[in-house]
Every structure is written in C-alpha cells, then in structure tokens.
Structure 1
C-alpha cells in the first residue's frame, strides 16, 4: 500500500486494473498528493506491493483470485481509514469501484474506462479481442495468463510506438487474474454473478464514468451503457458521464493526462460534499 498522509481533505483510494500494478497510478497519485490529498493505492491480492517482474516470475498468488475476494480486500483497507475516501478505479478497477460504491464505502466514485457490472452486456469487437487470449481457454479460469507485448500494444499502448509500449510493459504489466475476467464477462451477459450492483440504489454517493474515444478495451459505448443503466432506474443518486477525445485506455498516463486528472479531482471534490452529507445522515 502506498500512502502520503496529509490533512484537511478526503483521502483518495486508487484501484488499479487487470494486468497492471499500483505503479500505473504514479502520475495521478503524485498529482492528487500535490493537491493535498492522502493517496492510498493498494495492489490486488497476490500483487500487493510487488514489482511487476517479480509477479511475472512468480504468478501463483494470482491463481483463482476472484472479484469478491478483491473487493473484500479493498473494503478491509477502506474501513481501516479514519474517514470515508474518494474512490477512483481504472478499467477492472473501475468495476471494483462500482462494487465498493454498492457497499457504500466512499463519498464519491470515479470509474475511469471502467469494466461493466452484471447486466450491461455491451461488448464491442475490440473489447472482445482484448480478452480473447483469456476467454479462448475456459479451462484456464483459475490461471494467471501473461499478456503478450504485441497484445498489450493493441490494448493499452495504441497511442505509442511499439518500443514505448514495450517499456511500459516491462515496468508495469503482470499476468491476468483469469477468474476476474471470466466472472466479469459472464455476469455482464447473464445479469447475475460476482459483479452485481444495485443500479437503483438511492443513497449511493455521486459516481462519474470517464472514457476515451480511442480506447480499444472500454470504448465509449461501454461507458455510456453503464451510465444509462444507472440513470434509467430513476434513482436520485448522481451519475455523470464524460468522454475525452483522442484518449486511449491509458487515460491515467497518456500525454495530456493532467487534463483528465484535474477534471476528475475537481468533480470528485465538488461532489464529495454530497457524499459526505449522505454519509452523515445514514
């Protein structure tokens, strides 16, 4: 867990996504800390604070880990904090952010290119291709499959040269937690499973969904479908959507990431006031 203790502002918990480590948050973590927030960015169970190269060499701790186990892991950490945090997740971390929101653990939530919860079956071709190396082998559901450098370039590094993409791969990329991917896809299609949330929950703190229009993993169609699933329930809970032009799945580190980080933090700080009030009334 990485943290920088400050005072006067809500802490921020950053949830990384599949194939990545907490290091993927370096840019935003430093920016949020400079704005006066304590930043906590735990690794998933089995990843924790390990270097990516170590996880690649010894991936056994990732095998069989599921969405509920990861959500429980973050819940324990969040409940140990002296106050409710702002929770921000990227990719599958954005799906986990929605699960944590369903548990009422934060005062504002942001899903950055988030995975979809159960009941949002939108699956563009590029998204399907992203998961094909895992989904093509259902017998590997409890495994931990390493993503190839060429596939990482397609999914994460499509704004970069291959050499630039490979450098990020070496520093940050770890094997997939296969069960998480299978659980997420199965639940999205069936509407039931580990990623179920109450879309109509009335006391959920404000939620922002952010996407980039060049994202191969979570293109805008998915982000819009998630936001629509929440808003069409008629719940008074705030759910907003924002799309950024020219952005890939690396919204948190692609050149110009500062614009998105600023927008997200300004939104979260503003809307956290609503979440804090609701928390006090609960």
Structure 2
C-alpha cells in the first residue's frame, strides 16, 4: 500500500520533467537513510523518490518503539510494492538500492521497469553461490533462531558494528547505530539463505531480460555482509545479458555502511556518474 507521502512525491515528480530516481533501502535502515543522496541527485537535475517498505515508520525513534510493524515482509511483497509505485510514474526511473534494496533493484530491472540501475552491496539471488564466512556470521543475528522468520529483529550494537560499521571508527560506528539502525523483518534473510535450494523462491532475478537496462554493481572492499565474492558472482550472472551494459566497481576501505557513513558522498557520486551516462 502506497503512503500519502509516497503519492505526494510521485505527483510532484509527474508534474515536472526530470528523470525520477527511486531509492530502495535495505534491512535495518529507513528511507531517511537516503536523504543526503536524494539532495545530491536533485541538485544534479533528477527527481528523487524515497519510498519505504510497506508499513515503514517515519522515524528511527518510532521504529524502535514499535518494531512489530516490520515483521512479515517478504522479498516478493516488497518488490511488488516498489513496482507498483514505479508504475505510477509517468517516466521510467533510475533505481538505486542498497543491500536487500540492491537485490530488489535488480529484480525491478529484470522486469524492465528501470532506465538504469545501481545495486550497492546487493544481497544475493538464486544462482549466486558463494557463502563467505563473514556473510554467514553477519546473517546469524537472524538465521540463528528459526522463530525469527516471522519476527522483526533488531541488531545489537556489536552486531551492527560487525555487519555494517566495521570499516569506520568506534565513535562513528556508535553514531551510525544511534542515527540509523532500526529493526528488520527476518523473512528476507531466510528467503535468501534458501534461494539456491528452493526452486519456487521469490529471490530470483531475470538477468537476461532484453529490457533490463544498464546496471552498475558497487561493492565495498571490507563489507562483511556482502563481500566481493557475492557482489562479483552477481555481476558475472548479470554480465551475461547481451542487451545492456553491466559494470562493477569496488570502493576501497568501505564496509556495508558505505551509503550512510562518512564516505557516502563518494559512493553517491560514483552512482551518479554512471546514471548520467544513460539518462538526462
């Protein structure tokens, strides 16, 4: 279900003539994590749209006070939610996503709904086989308890430090945790973990779709959650698409928090430079 704020953003974008850019956040973050990115893209002449996942609260404080609202969200449900929003836009948008948002970005691109796409440290889809130890450890916060499938799961500071903020100082890691971290649904992580043994999984991407459009995958060199092995395996699957440009780049010395930490602007400008080549 689209929120009033989403529909207001869409109406404003449709009233103008700029190319929309839809930002898709991942687990343990809210749409507000994209606020600085949206300003950069707006200044560059684009029309940013920062929708939430279904039922996302407006603020981190509200999210932490009512974690139950995050429970029960599947990858397919959230992808359909974003596809529905994109369908209300009068111009085909650029789509940029981080982590599970990066997976959803690729699923949307495979449906031919994006003019260009950037997937940042994207969660793996069916056919992506590497399982680095650091990734398993990061996911264990949820996967360690089967009951978490139907729950909303917060990260402790130590879990956030390992999974997101391992490449920044302790001081910055604490600031990021307080400013951005919220609970997340457990279901997407269980879906991703079982994707390669479940032929009916929702966690699949049409990598060969002729209408997929240009795609950039950005990988953080020090990411524990989605290490290079996973990002590069996703890239190799996508690079088989003969109809569109597929590229990958690695950001040195960066962890999973690369979209929100002190180096966020470099990542945003890398994404923007790619997008500019194919739009406006």
**Could you tell me the TM-score, scaled by structure 2's length?**
0.90
* Residue number in structure 1 paired with 2:46: 37
Distance 1:234 1:68 in 2: 23
Given candidates 108, 111, 130, the residue that maps to 1:122 is 130
CA RMSD of aligned residues (A): 1.9
CA deviations on 1:219-254 (whole Å, 9 max, x unpaired) are: 1111110010122x4533221111111111122233
- Aligned runs of 1:74-85 on 2, under 5 Å? 74-85=82-93
User: Structure 1: which 5+ runs fail to align?
Assistant: 274-282
* Residue number in structure 1 paired with 2:192: 184
* Residue number in structure 1 paired with 2:173: 165
Distance 1:192 1:268 in 2: 33
* Residue number in structure 2 paired with 1:156: 164
Distance 1:9 1:188 in 2: 39
Bigger shift: residues 168-177 or 221-230: 168-177
Cα pair distance change 1:259/1:189, threshold 3 Å: farther
8 Å CA contact retained: 2:107, 2:206: no
Distance 1:133 1:201 in 2: 34
8 Å CA contact retained: 1:14, 1:39: yes
- Aligned runs of 1:125-274 on 2, under 5 Å? 125-188=133-196, 190=198, 192-231=200-239, 233=240, 235-272=242-279
TM-aligned CA deviation for residue 191 of structure 1: 5.8
Distance 1:178 1:114 in 2: 17
User: Structure 2: which 5+ runs fail to align?
Assistant: none
CA deviations on 1:138-197 (whole Å, 9 max, x unpaired) are: 122111111101110111111333332222222221112101111122114556511112
**Could you tell me the TM-score, scaled by structure 1's length?**
0.90
Distance 2:32 2:241 in 1: 38
8 Å CA contact retained: 1:7, 1:36: no
8 Å CA contact retained: 1:24, 1:172: yes
Cα pair distance change 1:256/1:133, threshold 3 Å: closer
CA deviations on 1:199-235 (whole Å, 9 max, x unpaired) are: 222221111111011111111111110010122x453
Cα pair distance change 1:29/1:234, threshold 3 Å: closer
